[in-house]
Every structure is written in structure tokens, then in C-alpha cells.
Amino acid sequence: MKGLSIISSLLDNDFYKFTMQNAIIKLFPYAKARYEFINRGKHSFPKNFSEKLKECLKQMSYLRLSNEEKNFLEKSCPYFDYEYLNFLKNYQYNPKEVCITQYGENIKIYIEGLWNRIILWEVPLMAVISELYYKLTGAEPISDKKIILLTKEKLNRYKKLNVKIGEYGTRRRFSYKIQKLVVKVLKKGGGSLFMGTSNVHLSNFFSTKPLGTHGHEWIMFHAAKYGFSIADRIAMENWLNVYRNNIGVALSDTYTSSIFFQNFNQKLSNIFNGIRHDSGDPILFIKKTIDHYKKFKINPLKKEIIFSDNLNPNKVAYISSFCKKKINPIFGIGTNFTNDVGVPSMNIVIKMVKATPKKDWVSVVKLSNVNEKSTGDKNMIFLAKKILHLF
């Protein structure tokens, strides 16, 4: 296997990692965090996988933000100030922040350090794990020609539905090459329905808008610092303190949507452009969202729901049909675009498990709307559910 440089750009990452990094630098510059790899799919890793993975990460340490990439960020993200762009220009991955061990067919990975530094590891690390796994296990995808045809077929279905779509598939892609091929097809044939990609490097390459706001870890940290009950609200207010209403989509399921809506007060409901749905029954969520907006006399047709939970054409058709003339849906499609290539896709995640909101380490948890997507220390999950009356 020649060369182990799977990630070739510092911007080969999801946009929300950079928006969160900027906010962390502004508000929590001394906070530390710890992330851990979770092998949900119980995948068996080949011999010496950990050593090959370490080689890939070593190659990532040579990446730097180019002047051209910096110019792209300045133009497409005017809310990124000089301070942050200068930080990013001097940033480089440090493989010492990532601890990798292998026991037989199992690998353990954790990332630890200053939160504003290590936040960039999660997405590209997952992309490397995925692509390296397929390379070392000899997995053969369908041909590029078939991938192009399949992507066009999906795109045609989305066109008939007249829905807006974005590509969100970096973390579990089969390979960088296939993700790039898919985005090329979407860019060429998607017209105004293709909103762009969450991958900042590919956004630059294809001259599209980078998509994303913030992830669950942003709210998880706030829960550790301010408490579970008000974490959603404080996290949203802090987001507005940094970005005003420039990147205004709220994430709804870190501590279940019922708790989120309690925190999503009239002011926040008006300011944020919409809400992201990432777990649970989408139809039930649509109904709750519409009722919530109407309670504050807000027209739901002026708001958006960004759906991002394991989407495919059939699911998109089902959701969009229910949304019609009620609220505006946008669909962030990930694995179904970048890893629908004739081999089983990996079921892996990397999640924050601890943070230092003050001086000491505190376990952080995510509850989600479905138990399978909850993460963190079992005792802390129990405590969170007790505090939030979720039993």
C-alpha cells in the first residue's frame, strides 16, 4: 500500500468543527476535553491496523492552511475574524493528542488536550479509520461509473420531490475520492436544490457554501458547566454572542427534544432560522416544532428543519411529503451519498466523554431521542435523566 496520506487538506473536515473551534477560542480558551472512539458496529480490525492508522495521523501533522484556503474562508465566512483565521493559519495537528492501541481485532482510541485544538480531530480521524479499514480489508466498491449513475438517480428523485439537499458524508465515507466524485455530480446536476457540502475543503474546490452550525459537544460542554436543565438555552445564547444570527440553526436532541423546546424560548425561536433534527420520529418532531412556533405566533413557513438522521430517498420522500405547506425542510444526507457503494458501511462514532468546564474533569453525556444514540458514563446518564425527569 503506497503512501498513507488519506487527508490532504486541513479543511478536509466538517464546517461545524471550525465554527465551534472559533467559539471555543472566544469563550472557553482554557477548557480541556477528551473524546473516545465507539465501535457501534463491532467491526473487526485487521492486524497492525493501529500502526497504519498512526502513520496516517503522522502525515496529517504536515498539513497547513494555505493562503488560498484562508482567502476562501475570508470570503465565504465573513464572521471569522482575523484572530481566528490567524490561529488556523498557524494550526497543525499533533498526533500526540491521539492515543491508539490495538488488542487483537479491537482498537481503542482517545483524544485528549485543549478543547480548541483537539476539536478538529474527530471527523477526519473517522474518515481515515473508514478509508483505511476498507483498504486493509480489501473491500471493493462498485465502479465510478455506477456510483455516478446511482448518485444521479438519487438526485433525480430529489428533484422530483423539489427538496433542498446538502452533502454531509465526510465522517463515514468509503473514500475521499468517492466523496469528491459524489459532490461533483451533485454540484453539476443539482442546480438550486443542492445547497452545498459540510466538507470545507470540497466547498472550496467546487465553489459551494460550507454547511453546518454546531454539534452535540457544544451543548454537552454547557451542561457540564451550567447544568443539564439550562444547557440548551445557554449554549444557544453563547452561540448568538459569537455569531449573532449569521449561523442560526439550533440542535434539538442533545438532552431530548422535549427539554430542548423548554429552553427554546420566544426570543431564540425568533432569532434562529431553524432547528436540526438528528434522532427520533421525524413526523412527531415536525408536529412538535410547528406547535412550538405557533405558540409564539411565529409562522412555521418562515422557518426550517434540517434533517440529518440516516437519510435515504424513501425517508426524504416520506418526511418532505408531511412537511409540505407546513414548514420548510432541508436534508443533510451523509452515508447514503458517500458510502452507498456495494459494501457494508461502518457504524462508528467519536464522542466527547469528559471536559473541564472549571478546573476538574467532569463526565459529559448525550441523551438523544433514542437510547441507542445516547453516549457517556452510565451513572452520569442516570443522573441527567433524573434531573431532567426523563424516567
Closest CA to 290 of 279, 280, 281, 301: 301
CA 9 – CA 18 distance, rounded (Å): 14
Fold classification of 144-338 is: nicotinate phosphoribosyltransferase (3.20.140)
Region 15-140+345-376: CATH code: 3.20.140.10
CA 55 – CA 176 distance, rounded (Å): 17
Closest CA to 15 of 165, 136, 162, 119: 119
Residue 308, pLDDT score: 96
Distance between alpha carbon 390 and the CA centroid of its chain, in Å?
26
Residue 259 C-alpha cell reads as: 427539554
Coil, strand or helix at 129: helix
- Is the CB of residue 43 less than 8 Å from the CB of residue 98? no
**Other CB atoms within 10 A of residue 306 CB:** 26
Closest CA to 334 of 370, 309, 306: 309
Residue owning grid cell 442546480: 191
Residue owning grid cell 473541564: 356
- Is the CB of residue 293 less than 8 Å from the CB of residue 299? yes
**CB within 8 A of 344, min separation 6: which ones?**
none
Backbone angles phi, psi at 196, to 5 degrees: 135, -165
Strands of 106-114's sheet, edge to edge?
A: 98-103, 106-114, 32-38, 349-355, 362-363
In degrees, rounded to 5, the angle at the alpha carbon of residue 319 between the alpha carbons of residues 314 and 325 is 135
For the chain, report the end-to-end CA distance as a whole number of angstroms: 51
* Biggest CA-to-CA distance, the chain: 60
The amino acid sitting at 17 is K
Residue 279, pLDDT score: 95
CA 133 – CA 233 distance, rounded (Å): 39
Residue pLDDT tens, the chain, 391 long: 444 679 999 999 999 999 999 999 999 999 999 999 999 999 999 999 999 999 999 999 999 999 999 999 999 999 999 999 999 999 999 999 999 999 999 999 999 999 999 999 999 999 999 999 999 999 999 999 999 999 999 999 999 999 999 999 999 999 999 999 999 999 999 999 999 999 999 999 999 989 999 999 999 999 999 999 999 999 999 999 999 878 889 999 999 999 999 999 999 999 999 999 999 999 999 999 999 999 999 999 999 999 999 999 999 999 999 999 999 999 999 999 999 999 999 999 999 999 999 999 999 999 989 988 889 999 999 999 999 999 8
How far, CA to CA in Å, does 193 sit from each of 159, 190, 359? 7, 6, 47
Residues listed for the chain:
391
Residue 4, pLDDT score: 66
**Other CB atoms within 10 A of residue 360 CB:** 7
Do the domains at 15-140+345-376 and 144-338 have one common CATH topology? yes
Q: Where are the beta strands (DSSP E) in the chain?
A: 32-38, 98-103, 106-114, 164-167, 194-197, 249-251, 274-277, 304-307, 328-333, 349-355, 362-363
Q: Report pLDDT digits (tens) over 279-324.
A: 999 999 999 999 999 999 999 999 999 999 999 999 999 999 999 9
**Domain regions of the chain by residue span:** 15-140+345-376, 144-338
Closest CA to 131 of 329, 389, 348: 348
Residue owning grid cell 431553524: 274
CA 138 – CA 181 distance, rounded (Å): 21
